[in-house]
Amino acid sequence: MLLLLTTTDVSNSSIHTNHSTESPTLQNGHLPSTVLILTLFILTLLFLCAYLLRFQVQQKHLVSTLQHKAPQGLLEDQDQTVVLLPRSLSPSQRFLPIPCSSLEEEYRRRAADESKLFREEYNSLPCVLSCCGAFEASREENRDKNRYPNILPNDHSRVRLSPVDGIPCSDYINASYIHEKCCQYWPNQGSCRYGRVCVTLQQASVLVDYTIRKLSLQSQGGDGCRETRMVTQMHFTGWPDFGVPFSPISTLRFLKRVRNSNPPRSGPITVHCSAGVGRTGTFIVIDAMLDMMQEEQRVDVFGFVSRIRQQRPLLVQTEMQYEFIYKAVLEHHLYGDTELDILSLKSRQLRLCNMHSKLTEVRIMKENMRTGNLSANLRKNRVLQIIPYDFNRVILSIKRGQEFTDYINASFIDGYRQRDYFIATQAPLSHTVEDFWRMVWERKSHSIIMLTELQERGQEKCVQYWADEGSVCYGEFSVELTGEVECDSFSLRDLLLTHSAESRLVRHFQFHWPEMGPPLDGRGMIDMISAVQRHQEQIGHTSAIVHCSAGAGRTGVFIAVCILVERLQAEGRLDIFQTTKSLRLQRPHMVQTLVRIYTHSYNWVNSIDSE
């Protein structure tokens, strides 16, 4: 402001001088004004020089720090942190709350340029550090032994070498003893005593992203009286070792389950990760922001994190966690709560069908399709628009001496209780049948679900990859038909797959999908899902392979209905919108015919309730 005003004053003065007469300026008071302006201008120059000098010193320090490039992996939930970028030059900068109406726009603005504004906002947070000392690591004699100047072992947990005579500080190495992330404090079965407290596992329910345990706690006091209390432990297992979850869908679903499980008038919810700052802080902030959205129609992530860091240092430990908070809050703002119970299934069907158009907003991540788009692999794709993402594609073993033999158009898909429970793939082509059976063999799959006919409307949809009778060989694999049963809406075949003198039984389920549109009755689909579930339970829940022609439309519908049915049976609730959205994040174009398939998904689920 001072520089701008000075520039304006100088400009106006110059113009005035150019158009003034030759009369003395002392009488008009112009000379003192000129002296004042020049004085302010000189002071401004001195201020700028001092600022630039300070900035150069900071830049030299930054270059010195960045000469040692940080590793790609992120350290989280540890006592040490890696500051990959310098702190903001104005750490006291205040970021104002964001109205809900502007949340999406603000998120996209902050996420632009590789999340540059998110980094600036995160680095402006107050940094309240713990008092753990690293005196030995900071000694002048030991500085050259530290690869990174800001990653130093604490004195109380550093590894001590045997000292070498005559060499000071020779017992130092940049290494720390690390405890396990969390000591298990509950029994896997039965009871276990921890001091005066006896913990008994009453029930455990394992889902794909979290586990729910019912624990009975019995404490014996000094007077001999025993008090028993029930505690619900919600164990979120969907957080990766490094970074943050790929999508906030599972985190929000878990948070809702936590809220619903906490009885009224109970004590505070205990939240922990390893160090109790990174994931713990992220979870707490998301929970608080959802409440703020509802009560105040705005969010204040920066202000809330700043406050809680005064209560516990380093809560929300990394920039990725900070950005993930915004991502989760935006997800809730855009889509809200789309869960349904059985009673509200029909009443909210129309509203959710209209909401289904939002699924087109799920971005197709073409940058993660590099392997399938390699020239050597393009001919292995039936539809060039449906290519698996690199992060969850099925990788085959490479044939000796043959490049590019690890690719097949197939994606791992999470089920309701188990990660990678399904493999979504396209129908085999004539030159990929052996790859298909290699995948079945290497993944130890015992169930194949086929959702197409070999030909539909005069066009090939799938190459036959089994024998009508006897056996047939595909490269190193032999496939023999050992039995076939025709049910009302699907065919069931038992196939004996043999490789290197070892044989396995594979059950083949073929649902007779109509050539035009979805099935009119959901009963047949539910019957086949039940048959698949029974078979999977018998053989040990290895990945079930599901395919239609392109491996997206009908395949996505079948997997979605499987997840919905299993959740409805277990919880009495379902979420068609988020289930479908989650599938699209794992494989492009899953559930292609949006409204019609969406409507029939309800019909299939309703057929369960009509029993």
Contact present, 479 and 495 (Cβ < 8 Å): yes
DSSP 505: E
DSSP 226: E
The stretches of 297-318 forming alpha helices (DSSP H) are 301-308
Residue 447 parent element (H or E): strand 447-450
Contact present, 575 and 444 (Cβ < 8 Å): no
- Rounded to whole angstroms, how far apart are CA atoms 452 and 515? 8
- Report strand pairing: 191-194 vs 197-206: antiparallel
Which of 49, 131, 183, 273 does the annotation list as catalytic? Answer: 273
- Rounded to whole angstroms, how far apart are CA atoms 601 and 359? 15
487 as an active site residue: the answer is: no
225 as an active site residue: the answer is: no
Contact present, 82 and 148 (Cβ < 8 Å): yes
Which of 131, 182, 225, 548 does the annotation list as catalytic? Answer: 548
Phi/psi for 605 (5° steps) reads -65, -35
- Rounded to whole angstroms, how far apart are CA atoms 64 and 7? 37
The stretches of 171-264 forming alpha helices (DSSP H) are 249-261
Its sign, for the CA torsion 351, 352, 355, 357, is negative
Sheet hosting strand 393-395, strand order edge to edge: 393-395, 407-413, 422-425, 544-547, 447-450, 502-511, 490-499, 477-486, 471-474
Contact present, 213 and 204 (Cβ < 8 Å): yes
Catalytic residues: 273, 548
